[in-house]
């Protein structure tokens, strides 16, 4: 009985698409990389770390505003900021 249940589970796992397993592997690798980066950042000068975080967040934020490809949850914030900053649609409409 136990062998039959194990085979059924194995067959179910084989039916899972390969893309899912790639995504799981990428998530695990990203988590390990994030852990390494956080441990390294804990030893950094806090001002340098703050500057790097500010540059990263502002670069990603301005790209989201310009391209309007922000996550759906941030659309209300980007809508407000897009009134004051240039967007790709503004330049294409001119």
For residues 63-92, average pLDDT: 84
Residue 27: band (very low, low, confident or very high) from pLDDT cuts 50, 70, 90 = very high
H helix intervals, 1-94: 2-15, 18-42, 46-67, 75-82, 88-93
The answer to whether the beta carbons of residues 85 and 65 sit under 8 Å apart is: yes
Kindly tell me if the per-residue pLDDT of 13 is higher than 90. no
In the structure encoding, which two tokens stand for residue 33, read together? 């990389």
25 within domain boundaries? no
| Structural domains counted in the chain | 1
6 within domain boundaries? no
Residue 89: band (very low, low, confident or very high) from pLDDT cuts 50, 70, 90 = confident
| Domain extent for 87 | 45-94
């Amino acid at each position: 009985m136990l062998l039959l249940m194990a085979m059924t589970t194995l067959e179910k796992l084989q039916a899972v698409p390969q893309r899912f397993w790639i995504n799981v592997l990428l998530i695990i690798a990203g988590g390990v990389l994030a852990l390494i980066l956080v441990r390294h950042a804990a030893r950094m000068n806090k001002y340098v770390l703050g500057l790097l975080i500010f540059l990263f967040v502002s670069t990603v934020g301005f790209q989201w505003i310009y391209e309007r490809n922000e996550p759906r949850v941030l659309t209300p914030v980007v809508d407000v900021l897009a009134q004051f900053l240039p967007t790709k649609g503004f330049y294409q409409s001119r």
